[in-house]
Amino acid sequence: MNRILALVLILTQSSIMQDLRITYQPKQMEARRVVQDEGIPYEFYGGAKGGGKSKYTRNIEMERRLRYAGTSGVIIRKTFPELMSNHVRKFWTEFPFTYDWYNKSEKTIYYPNGSVTDFRYLKKTTDVYNYQGIEYDDISMDEATQHEEEVFKILKTSLRQAPEIIDRYPDFRPSFRLTGNPGGIGHAWVKRIFVDRDFKQGEHPEDYRFIQARVDDNPIFLRANPQYKRNLEDLPEELRKAYLEGDWNIFAGQYFKKLRREKHLVPPIRIPDDWMHWRSLDWGYGHPSVVLWWAANPNTGDIFIYRYYKEKEVVASKMARRVAELTNSDENILTTVAGHDCWAKITSDDTRTERTLADIINNNGLPIEKAIIDRISGWMNLRELLEWDEKRKAPQLKIFDTCEEVYTDLACLVHDEKHPEDVLKMDGDDTGDSARYGGMYHSEARKEGHQMTEIEQYINEITSDKEDWDTY
């Protein structure tokens, strides 16, 4: 046997009238053990180009449908053309007998032993709700980083097995298998769960496993395509690190490509009272509200994000009070700039009176004013603040390392393919929106010679009065 083949699985099915050989390479075999032997519910395989992700997906799906009669699996991609080229036709090539078992109208393989494999695509995030209530013993989400976390969460509810399957196969465990590369709209949540293993409440670390696979782990493919690795090596640095080395900190499509932990995350310092202080707010309920605290050194121009608040499903009044509580009385915050959605009128059912979120927020101790909300200008300005090079060793904007989540959220923002200068609107962009509001406030204040707003004038008067009192 060729040494690069870790396993040749032979399954004999009388209905096939032949021995079926399913070949796994060593890294694929490692991933198979996670599913087949350890029973880990959620596995992510890949993380770089050319690691044999799609082949592994088809192999494990075929094996488990034939090994466990009467079970069901589904393979998911973003579009149906991707499904056809990457899986359906490959099934027909690698397992020719499946052509006769494939129902074209239903996009399903019906096996003679009663098992089924569905091929489904989710072009939009909301498409996932079409599959609520459908049960699968196995789910394969190929190129998972093309999807938002909401898709993963909803599909997890479909991973379950019928009592008769448990009775028939006591060793069988349902499996949710994901593959993908760094980058894409789902980069942040895949990296958080599988790469960084930064789990939230309700997520159990023992349920998740990441199997890193690079092109060198796919020797059969490299033998047939020797130029492929050289092509990856010739890519620009950020693409090479992501696609060849599997670096999840730099990836294709990343908006702020110059973000580096060693450059932008700094230990907290004491911020003098005479520095310029302000806050920025991106309001949300279903999505998080994000407030950032900023300070600027008037002598060097350095800017710091030194505190943040991020929470969802909190009403505006409570959010405002919480932000006020987090702010020290001696910080002398000049203003808080917020997105214009805070000024949308809302109507109370009991009083029929109109008011705005801004009214509620202002009345609960958090005075706000309208931010400059132009997206392109805001992103370009923020990119300029984060810029550094060999001449300018340090970026103008730095983030306290106590606010690491702010850094992570900014690092995961991606370009909008239809509007390359814009950031793609996605789950997790709330911190970015707050940051561009805050960055634009500083830039405009400097451009205008820092003309004080009414709020700033009021604070200045209070501060001046206090200084007068202190002289007596």
Q: Coil, helix or strand for 347?
A: strand
- For 408, phi then psi, to 5°, come to -60, -45
Half-sphere exposure of 310 (CA within 13 A, CB side): 17
- Strand-pair partners of 276: 296
Structural domains in the chain, sorted by start: 7-243 (3.40.50.300), 261-470 (3.30.420.280)
Lowest pLDDT segment from 191-195, 345-349, 418-422:
345-349
Question: 416 or 1: whose pLDDT is higher?
Answer: 416
pLDDT of 354: 59
Q: What is the pTM of this model?
A: 0.72
Q: Has residue 7 got a pLDDT over 90?
A: no
pLDDT digits (tens, 9 = 90+) for 125-152: 999 998 888 999 999 999 999 999 999 9
pLDDT digits (tens, 9 = 90+) for 49-87: 999 999 999 999 999 999 999 999 999 999 999 999 999
Q: In this structure, are residues 391 and 231 in contact, taking their beta carbons and an 8 Å threshold? A: no
pLDDT tens figures, 241-290: 888 998 888 776 789 988 888 999 999 999 998 899 999 999 999 899 99
**Selection from 331, 283, 285 nearest residue 307 by Cα:** 331
Tell whether the model's pLDDT for residue 306 goes beyond 50: yes
Q: What whole-number distance in Å separates Cα of residue 286 and Cα of residue 332?
A: 31
Q: What is the mean pLDDT of residues 308-325?
A: 94
Residue-level pLDDT at 466: 37
**Mean pLDDT of the chain, nearest integer:** 87
Looking at residue 19, its pLDDT comes to 61
Tokens of 301: 């121009």
pLDDT band for 228, please (50, 70, 90 cuts).
Answer: very high
pLDDT tens digits for range 437-463: 999 999 887 666 554 444 444 444 544
Mean predicted confidence (pLDDT) in 189-194: 93
**DSSP string over 277-344:** EEEEEE--SSSPEEEEEEEE-TTT--EEEEEEEEESS--HHHHHHHHHHHS-TTS----EEE-GGGGS
Calpha distance 139→142 (Å, rounded): 10
Q: Tell me, what's the pLDDT at 283?
A: 95
User: CB of 412 within 8 A of CB of 251?
Assistant: no
Please give the Cα distance from 184 to 464 (Å, whole number).
51
**Residue ranges in 346-411 assigned as alpha helix (H):** 357-362, 375-386, 404-411
The answer to which of 42-51, 167-176, 249-258, 345-354 has the lowest mean pLDDT is 345-354
More confident residue, 100 or 12: 100
429 pLDDT more than 60: yes
Structure confidence at residue 437 (pLDDT): 97
Q: Is the predicted pLDDT of residue 426 greater than 90, yes or no?
A: no
Percentage of residues of the chain with pLDDT beyond 90? 70
Whether 46 contacts 90, CB under 8 Å: no
Average pLDDT, integer, range 180-199: 90
Tell me how far apart the alpha carbons of residues 354 and 171 are, in angstroms, rounded to a whole number: 61
Residue 3's pLDDT band, with cuts at 50, 70 and 90, is very low
pLDDT given for residue 206 in this prediction: 97
Alpha-carbon torsion, ordered 398, 401, 402, 407, to 10 deg:
70
